[in-house]
Structure 1
């Protein structure tokens, strides 16, 4: 049965795909569904049906060695869709959507995992009723600092694929003039969706400390030996830290549904001098 991965953008979901693709029996696809391909004006039911049909398309292509659309035309090895090159202090996206072709795989010889963040999160109700879904989260301090410094819609405090099927969220973001508060609302929306629909939630921090074993366990796979995973330490401009610091009180007071404590948040803030 196909499994789905969703998660908060910049929480390590693409890394999860890379770790899963280190297994012979798993094929994990990074953002293979283009939300723009879903008919304009389609409701959540139409979008859900489109996703189901696309999963069948992916399986057929994999089993027959045919091309199919993928979030990075370079193949399955992508670890991070955002590179190190910056423009005006903003890290640029390196992933390029396109078609890939994989060696033929016999039906039943592999476990298909499909990763999609905002689209799957907006449609968690019907998706979680039919598929096993695992959601990946990360400490909001690290997520928001990343959002403030990457060339993605969340940098501007918008999440188009989510807003399209979450009109309340779209209205709230449209009414909020502050970028960091739009970003904070987006983070909360993801967490609330995961909690409301009762999906399995996996912390990025646990994936790192276990060298990927926590991911294997979450998907019901036996652990394998991997190279140690080490967190990257990034430096942020004072104005970026100041923008995050403006919502420090909200970060410390929020409900993270038992996934992060106020102390967890305070420790990360302190590491950045906040």
Structure 2
């Protein structure tokens, strides 16, 4: 029996990873299914997570369904519509409810549950107790994506994480400018992953999209025989409405943090300026 937690940078491809994982045999990936009361009690939150995992396994085996965010009953690649050249924020299309999984599941099926906010905040308590992976992505692409979505990260906040990590909440509360707050949030998340997870528990979006089969194998699952064709996109092409130059300049102070995940990141930023 395998149960694995997935966290990562918001807008780094965690929902895409769930969509890919749900195409694998004897595997279910739930996208942000928990509705933890934001009570701030970290130990209680971990107990609630563990209780949910056990209940979800039972419900999937007995009923073939479990709670998750979804779009029309399906866990898609992306909660937001595709970006365009027009300015404006893309709203979330996600709805919450029971999602049915038609594939047969063995008693030992693999269950993956992803939450970028809660699991990142509780990483120090969860990582020693449960298998866990964190997904990261080129920070410039992440920051560009944040400019295009009508999500809390668009203003530099991650409420689900702030509720369970007073350090993060205080850090963000002390920063007035949204872009500076976004950069501080990125830096805090990357530093946390580096400090609390070894390289074997960190997965890059670029690797997931370049070689999905190899990346999915990191979850201990068997990828489907016919995989999807994916490719990482340059952020200038992916987010044509966003001026990358001020974002690159804002990221320069945290380039040393980013270099741990993306060697040569500082030089790549300078080429954008």
Question: TM-score category by the smaller chain?
Answer: 0.7 to 0.9
| CA distance in structure 2 between the aligned counterparts of 1:3 and 1:76, rounded to whole angstroms | 20
Residue in 2 that maps onto 1:3: 4
TM-score by length of 1: 0.87
- Give the 4+ runs in structure 1 shifted more than 6 A: none
SS at the partner of 1:52? helix
Q: Is the 8 A contact 2:32 2:113 kept in 1?
A: yes
Residue in 2 that maps onto 1:258: 260
Deviations 1:142-187 (A, max 9, x none): 0001011111100011110111111111111111011111111111
Map 1:79-228 onto structure 2 (within 5 A).
79-84=77-82, 89-103=88-102, 105-199=104-198, 200-210=201-211, 212-224=212-224, 225-228=226-229
Residue in 2 that maps onto 1:47: 45
Deviations 1:57-85 (A, max 9, x none): 21111111165321115334411011137
Residue of structure 2 aligned with 1:234, choices 233, 238, 248? 238
Deviations 1:217-266 (A, max 9, x none): 3223345440211234324346x4354144143143x22363112x2354
Residue in 2 that maps onto 1:25: 26
Which stretch shows the higher mean deviation, 241-250 or 152-161? 241-250
Q: Is the 8 A contact 1:62 1:104 kept in 2?
A: no
Q: Is the 8 A contact 1:7 1:13 kept in 2?
A: yes
| CA distance in structure 2 between the aligned counterparts of 1:90 and 1:145, rounded to whole angstroms | 12
| Structure with higher RCO (Cα < 8 A, 6+ apart) | 2
CA RMSD of aligned residues (A): 2.3
| CA distance in structure 2 between the aligned counterparts of 1:59 and 1:209, rounded to whole angstroms | 31
| CA distance in structure 2 between the aligned counterparts of 1:157 and 1:201, rounded to whole angstroms | 23
Which stretch shows the higher mean deviation, 215-224 or 113-122? 215-224
Q: Give the number of equivalent residue pairs.
A: 265
Deviations 1:165-215 (A, max 9, x none): 1111111111101111111111111112212212500111111111x1232
Where in structure 2 are there 5+ consecutive unaligned residues? Answer: none
- 1:104 Cα offset (Å): 7.7
Where in structure 1 are there 5+ consecutive unaligned residues? Answer: none
